[in-house]
Amino acid sequence: MIGETEPSRIRRRNPRGQGERLREDILEAADALLDGTRDASRLSLRGVARRVGIAATSVYLHFPDVDHLKLALIEAGFAELDDARDAASEGIGDPAQALLARSRAYARWALDHPGRYRLMFGPDLPTALAFDAVESPSRRTFETLVRSIERCQEAGLCPMDNASRVAMLVWVSVHGLVLLRMDRPHFPWKPLDEMVDDIVRRVINLNAFTKPGARTSAT
Amino acid sequence: MIGETEPSRIRRRNPRGQGERLREDILEAADALLDGTRDASRLSLRGVARRVGIAATSVYLHFPDVDHLKLALIEAGFAELDDARDAASEGIGDPAQALLARSRAYARWALDHPGRYRLMFGPDLPTALAFDAVESPSRRTFETLVRSIERCQEAGLCPMDNASRVAMLVWVSVHGLVLLRMDRPHFPWKPLDEMVDDIVRRVINLNAFTKPGARTSAT
DNA sequence: TGTACATCAGTGAACGCGCGTTCACTGATGTAC
DNA sequence: TGTACATCAGTGAACGCGCGTTCACTGATGTAC
């Protein structure tokens, strides 16, 4: 066992004018702590400082308090998650394939960054700071899902149900999938991509027009 | 503001031979704390003792440590949840209606007991104690869902897909639904029962044989 | 019938821990004159 | 060219808090003789 309570030593003071670099180091260390093999436990200011190799008080040079640090992590997390989804669907013409690829990317990002994902969508942030407003990053993420579904509908690939309602169902389904996989690691899950595809197809009723019930045993 | 740090005073020592009643009082207080309006925060041994009106150390008369207290809460929670589902489907002949009623009951119980539900399905319990084994209460709860779906299949109400796979999808979907409703209370959700019905119908492909795509705008 | 004793249902003080936050400070580096 | 000073990037000690857990104890109640 390596003494994990000790700092990562190597750090030395940033040169003059480069003080902002500590901010990046803090965010990076916090991400690493959240994503690491650690027991998905909660983030602490002192833990982050320890990992960066600075005094706990130095965090206050860049964040007024621990909640603002969390807020910065959440905002960066949404940016990363959105990027991952965009990258996954890049160059895919078929709207249904694009939606599935984006959904798989969402799920994979979540499972690769369990601590961050939990912070972004969990109850940890004090309600005073929790953004649920229309212009919040999570709402923007949701809106891209709505549009992705609308494109499928316009292409005639699935029924024209209210896209916003359907998006809610897709969102909660994939959310539940990734959370339970995190929290019940010993359950005999099927492969992630398979489950994501399966659930999204069913929820949006993909191919409902082309061959309903085609995969049943009643062939 | 009432001084919440103070105990609920009124308690007096149990009569001789009735020492086991304190155990019940502790479990009740813990449930109340978990389900209360409290910020879905984590349970603490001292908090429970305060609410019961006993010394913190008295908890050790009935539980070897705080994790075993949590374990007892989880087991009781699964029993309650199973009862709620059974009660909801009692007397319903149609397997599909029964499944929907049971699913709605699951979701409602979860939202009525957010702290307990989170404890039961969340990451809080140390892995050493977390039961993921085949005979665990959560597995039993899952198996009743599988059987509920099989009954729908046998009645010809939905495709004969692998029932266990479909049950996984239903479970994660409803789980995600209740968790996000807890954690994003300001999101413009549709009514709970509606969403549960909608999502379960879609996931198990209910009525896939009778009238596929019947509700689309392409009528 | 009285009394010694065991049992029972708890208590109270203390421990060490990690946490967020405050306060006054330090010591290197650049800049004005 | 030398020096006083401001600025910058941090530090270290201390605070009060709630936590889980330990240890030795207390005081009422029943029971054996």
User: Please, where are the H alpha helices in B59-162?
Assistant: 66-89, 95-112, 114-121, 137-154
B16 in contact with nucleic chain D (CB within 7 A): yes
- Mean pLDDT of all residues in B188-195: 97
Burial class (CB in 10 A: 0-12, 13-18, 19+), B172: buried
Please state, in angstroms and rounded to a whole number, the distance separating the CA atoms of residues B135 and A136: 43
Q: How far is the CA of A57 from the C1' of C22 (A)?
A: 10
Candidate from A54-58, A77-81, A126-130, B59-63 with smallest mean pLDDT: A126-130
Is residue A34 classed as helix, strand or coil in its secondary structure? helix
The nearest alpha carbon in chain B to A208 belongs to: B213
User: Do B200 and B103 form a contact (C-beta atoms < 8 A)?
Assistant: yes
- Mean pLDDT of all residues in A182-199: 95
A47 in contact with nucleic chain C (CB within 7 A): yes
Is residue B109 predicted with pLDDT exceeding 70? yes
Tell me A217's DSSP state.
Answer: T
Interchain CB contacts (distance < 8 Å): A and B: 137
Q: What is the pLDDT of residues A160-185, one digit of tens each?
A: 999 999 999 999 999 999 999 999 98
Please state, in angstroms and rounded to a whole number, the distance separating the CA atoms of residues B176 and A193: 17
Amino acid present at A48: V
Q: How far is the CA of B96 from the C1' of C33 (A)?
A: 89
Backbone angles phi, psi at B122, to 5 degrees: -95, -170
Structure confidence at residue B132 as a pLDDT band (50, 70, 90): low
Angle at B108 between CA B107 and CA B112, to 5 degrees: 120
The nearest alpha carbon in chain A to B161 belongs to: A216
| Mean model confidence pLDDT for chain B | 88
* Residue B148: partners with Cβ closer than 8 Å, 6 or more residues away: B89, B95, B98, B99, B102
Cross-chain Cβ contact A217/B160 below 8 Å: yes
B17 in contact with nucleic chain C (CB within 7 A): yes
| Mean model confidence pLDDT for chain A | 88
Q: What is the CA radius of gyration of chain A?
A: 21
Closest CA to A196 of A88, A34, A115: A88
Cross-chain Cβ contact B215/A161 below 8 Å: yes
**Residue B55, min C-alpha distance to chain A (Å):** 28
Q: What is the pLDDT of residues A105-156, one digit of tens each?
A: 999 999 999 999 999 998 877 766 766 666 788 999 999 999 999 999 999 9
Candidate from A120-134, B129-143, B182-196 with smallest mean pLDDT: A120-134
A34 in contact with nucleic chain D (CB within 7 A): no
Closest CA to A212 of A159, A148, A146, A171: A159
Residue B127: predicted pLDDT: 67
Q: How far is the CA of A7 from the C1' of D3 (A)?
A: 39
Q: Which two tokens stand for residue A51?
A: 């990992």
**Residue A194, min C-alpha distance to chain B (Å):** 11
The nearest alpha carbon in chain A to B201 belongs to: A203
- Mean pLDDT of all residues in B152-178: 97
Helices and strands (DSSP H and E) totals, chain A: 8, 0
The nearest alpha carbon in chain B to A202 belongs to: B203
Share of chain B above pLDDT 90, in %: 74
Is residue B199 predicted with pLDDT exceeding 80? yes
Candidate from A38-52, A168-182, B135-149 with smallest mean pLDDT: A38-52
Burial class (CB in 10 A: 0-12, 13-18, 19+), A18: exposed
Stated pTM of the model? 0.92
Cross-chain Cβ contact B183/A122 below 8 Å: yes
Please state, in angstroms and rounded to a whole number, the distance separating the CA atoms of residues B66 and B43: 9
Q: What is the pLDDT of residues B51-104, one digit of tens each?
A: 999 999 999 999 999 999 999 999 999 999 999 999 999 999 999 999 999 999
Checking each nucleotide's C1' against the CA of B20, the nearest proves to be: C9
Please state, in angstroms and rounded to a whole number, the distance separating the CA atoms of residues B95 and B92: 7
Is residue A35 predicted with pLDDT exceeding 80? yes
B62 in contact with nucleic chain D (CB within 7 A): no
Candidate from A59-68, B133-142, B204-213 with smallest mean pLDDT: B204-213
Q: How far is the CA of B17 from the C1' of C13 (A)?
A: 28
What would the DSSP string read from start to end of A116-161? HHHHHHSS-S-TTT---STTSHHHHHHHHHHHHHHHHHHTTSS---
B30 in contact with nucleic chain D (CB within 7 A): no
**Residue A25, min C-alpha distance to chain B (Å):** 28
Which residues of chain A have a CB within 8 Å of the CB of B159? 213, 215-218
